[in-house]
Chains A and B, each alone.
Chain A
Amino acid sequence: MEIINYIKDILKALRSLWKGMMVTGYYFVHPKEIVTQRYPENRKKLEMFDRFKGEVTMPHDENNTHLCTGCGICETNCPNGSIEIITRKEINPETGKAERVIDKHIYHLSMCTFCELCIKTCPSNALAWGQSFEHAVFDRHKLTKVLNQPGSKLRKEPKEKKVTEEKN
């Protein structure tokens, strides 16, 4: 019986080795599985993956409005002070009350460690990751960016609308 177990062992080992070889063999004959990008050549059509952290951006819609209320939570949360927020008071024509409005959302890309704390903690989801990654410039002042576009405003979404959306 020893000898039968011995031969069984060998056959089992050969089968498992063959299984492993089939995995690598499959990858060898399927060049589509290759994940490496030929970067400078495919620059035009290179698309980064969803979770790629390129730079912090503030998405604006077609009416040049954004979601930033200027609360400053991102600024206090940033561990290395890459975000500076400058706000101003503006009188709301409807209510006649003074309101805080974002003047400049300054982002220092040169200091950012891409920790994502600003985006995670933003209460109004005003920030998002951008997909661009070619950040090299000859002047480091160019790495200091103003995220809100000139003349942009806070987007005010009617609260009823959200409720109806949820119902649907």
Chain B
Amino acid sequence: MLTSIIYDFSPLTHRIDQFLSETFSPGWAVTMELVIVGLVFLLFYAVVGLFLVLAERRVCAFIQNRLGPNRVGPEGLLQTIADLLKLLFKELIPIKRADKFLYNLAPFIVIIASFMAIAAIPFAKGLHAIDFNIGIFYVIAVSSLGVVGILLAGWSSNSKYSLIGAMRSGAQIISYELSVALSLLAIVVLSGSMQLSEVIASQESGWWIWRGHLPAFIAFLVYLIASTAEINRGPFDLAEAESELTAGFHTEYSGIKFAFFFLAEYMNMFIVASFATTMFLGGWLPFHIDGWYAFNHMMDFIPPVVWYLGKTAFIIYLIMWFKWTFPRLRIDQLLTLEWKYLLPINLVNILIVAFISWKNWHF
């Protein structure tokens, strides 16, 4: 029983659901379930966010021939927890002539946007909070809500750094949103569904990045570039640009409000990476090679959660790798890259994908 839970979570969730609906009235059962899911995500959010901050610091240190944080806890594992504790105790500095209400609201909008996106991610078989039939559409819509928070933060802080950062971020996210959606659309065309569980099911015989020939690979590359820009990470971190704008839109924030922005940024990276995993790399499906039965069987022994987290970690590493390699783009270069390169390539690409899918040329 216990071992099979790792491979398929649906019996466990069904049992909890059954227990709750037997003991409570239907309304209460649903409320309890919502609370449980919310708590699990809250915990997951904090742990993954803190771990990613640490991972980023260590990866960038290794790339720059340094060691990175290695003093707090074994190999620096407790470093970010210590940082968070410090941030919790810090003073929340009120800004003179700031728009108080919007100023306080902005971090919550940013963090809620990433929270909503995380709900649609399929972590493993049966470990999936909401399986919308328009899951991809939902995530694209919800993840771009974050920019509202960023714009509000920049506007309400009453600081020029914040405002410039927020405006840049607005221009950036609105243009790169297109590329993200179009590259995901390529996979929607191939798999014929917008439901995330069905996208994964369609990759049973092979991941789309392999089965979709070159166009799928191009879509993957475009997705990686555009989504990095969408989450405001280097080399597209114009919104924060610490060398020009001190910290961009969160210049005036301190303490836990700053931590909210920070955590949301890293969680957005996780969400983007897990979407790349789900759409292009087969989600939680193990790696299979046609005809190699013994090999395939061995791969099946590795639990789906491990597969999922491993692939996500790989994508996150890729994103970190190019953040710490490439210099930051200028705003005009950023928009040129999107409108003159990524978008036309994407449009041609989606045409080819549609043709392949129509002729059934994919594997």
A and B interact physically = yes
CB-CB under 8 A from B326, the residues of chain A are 17, 20
CB-CB under 8 A from B70, the residues of chain A are 38
With A20-B325, A21-B321 in contact, do A27 and B62 touch (Cβ < 8 Å)? Answer: yes
Determine whether the beta carbon of B67 is less than 8 Å from that of A28.
no
Distance, CA A35 to CA B61, complexed state (A): 11
From B65, B67, B325, contact of A38 by CB (8 A): B67
Most chain B CB neighbours (cut-off 10 Å) among A21, A25, A33:
A21
CB-CB under 8 A from A28, the residues of chain B are 59, 62-63, 321
CB-CB under 8 A from A20, the residues of chain B are 325-326
B214 to nearest A CB, angstroms? 13
Kindly state whether residue A98 has any CB partner on chain B within 8 Å.
no
Kindly state whether residue B296 has any CB partner on chain A within 8 Å.
no
- Contacting A at CB under 8 A, from B247-261, are none
CB-CB under 8 A from B324, the residues of chain A are 24
Binary interface encoding of chain B residues 47-85 relative to chain A, with 1 for a CB under 8 A from any of its CBs, else 0: 000000000000100111111001000000000000000
CB-CB under 8 A from A31, the residues of chain B are 62
Determine whether the beta carbon of B66 is less than 8 Å from that of A24.
no
Determine whether the beta carbon of B321 is less than 8 Å from that of A25.
yes
Residue in A closest to B71 when the chains form the complex, CB atoms: A38
Most chain A CB neighbours (cut-off 10 Å) among B64, B65, B67, B321:
B65
Kindly state whether residue A63 has any CB partner on chain B within 8 Å.
no
CB-CB under 8 A from B59, the residues of chain A are 28
CB-CB under 8 A from A25, the residues of chain B are 321
CB-CB under 8 A from B325, the residues of chain A are 20-21, 23-24
Distance, CA A34 to CA B67, complexed state (A): 7
Binary interface encoding of chain B residues 313-357 relative to chain A, with 1 for a CB under 8 A from any of its CBs, else 0: 000000001101110000000000000010001000000000000
Kindly state whether residue A168 has any CB partner on chain B within 8 Å.
no
Kindly state whether residue A36 has any CB partner on chain B within 8 Å.
yes
A88 to nearest B CB, angstroms? 52
From A24, A34, A35, A38, contact of B321 by CB (8 A): A24
Kindly state whether residue A10 has any CB partner on chain B within 8 Å.
yes
A16 to nearest B CB, angstroms? 10
Determine whether the beta carbon of A21 is less than 8 Å from that of B64.
no
Residue in A closest to B327 when the chains form the complex, CB atoms: A20
A160 to nearest B CB, angstroms? 51
Determine whether the beta carbon of B66 is less than 8 Å from that of A35.
yes
CB-CB under 8 A from A21, the residues of chain B are 321-322, 325
B6 to nearest A CB, angstroms? 31
CB-CB under 8 A from A24, the residues of chain B are 63, 321, 324-325
B350 to nearest A CB, angstroms? 17
A87 to nearest B CB, angstroms? 49
Most chain B CB neighbours (cut-off 10 Å) among A23, A25, A35, A36:
A36
Distance, CA A21 to CA B67, complexed state (A): 19
Distance, CA A23 to CA B67, complexed state (A): 17
CB-CB under 8 A from B67, the residues of chain A are 34, 36, 38
B306 to nearest A CB, angstroms? 22
Distance, CA A107 to CA B239, complexed state (A): 53
Distance, CA A33 to CA B66, complexed state (A): 9
CB-CB under 8 A from A17, the residues of chain B are 322, 326
Determine whether the beta carbon of B321 is less than 8 Å from that of A27.
no
With A24-B321, A25-B321 in contact, do A10 and B341 touch (Cβ < 8 Å)? Answer: yes
With A21-B325, A24-B321, A24-B325 in contact, do A34 and B66 touch (Cβ < 8 Å)? Answer: yes
Determine whether the beta carbon of A34 is less than 8 Å from that of B62.
yes
Binary interface encoding of chain A residues 29-46 relative to chain B, with 1 for a CB under 8 A from any of its CBs, else 0: 001011110100000000
Distance, CA A20 to CA B326, complexed state (A): 8
CB-CB under 8 A from A33, the residues of chain B are 65
Distance, CA A28 to CA B64, complexed state (A): 8
B213 to nearest A CB, angstroms? 18
A41 to nearest B CB, angstroms? 10
Distance, CA A153 to CA B226, complexed state (A): 74
B75 to nearest A CB, angstroms? 11
Distance, CA A33 to CA B65, complexed state (A): 6
CB-CB under 8 A from B62, the residues of chain A are 27-28, 31, 34
Q: Which residues of A contact B (CB under 8 A)?
A: 10, 17, 20-21, 23-25, 27-28, 31, 33-36, 38
In the A-B complex, the 8 residue pairs with the closest CB atoms: A36-B67, A24-B325, A24-B63, A28-B62, A36-B66, A20-B325, A21-B325, A33-B65
5 more CB-based (< 8 A) A-B contacts, given A10-B341, A21-B321, A23-B325: A24-B324, A33-B65, A34-B65, A34-B66, A34-B67
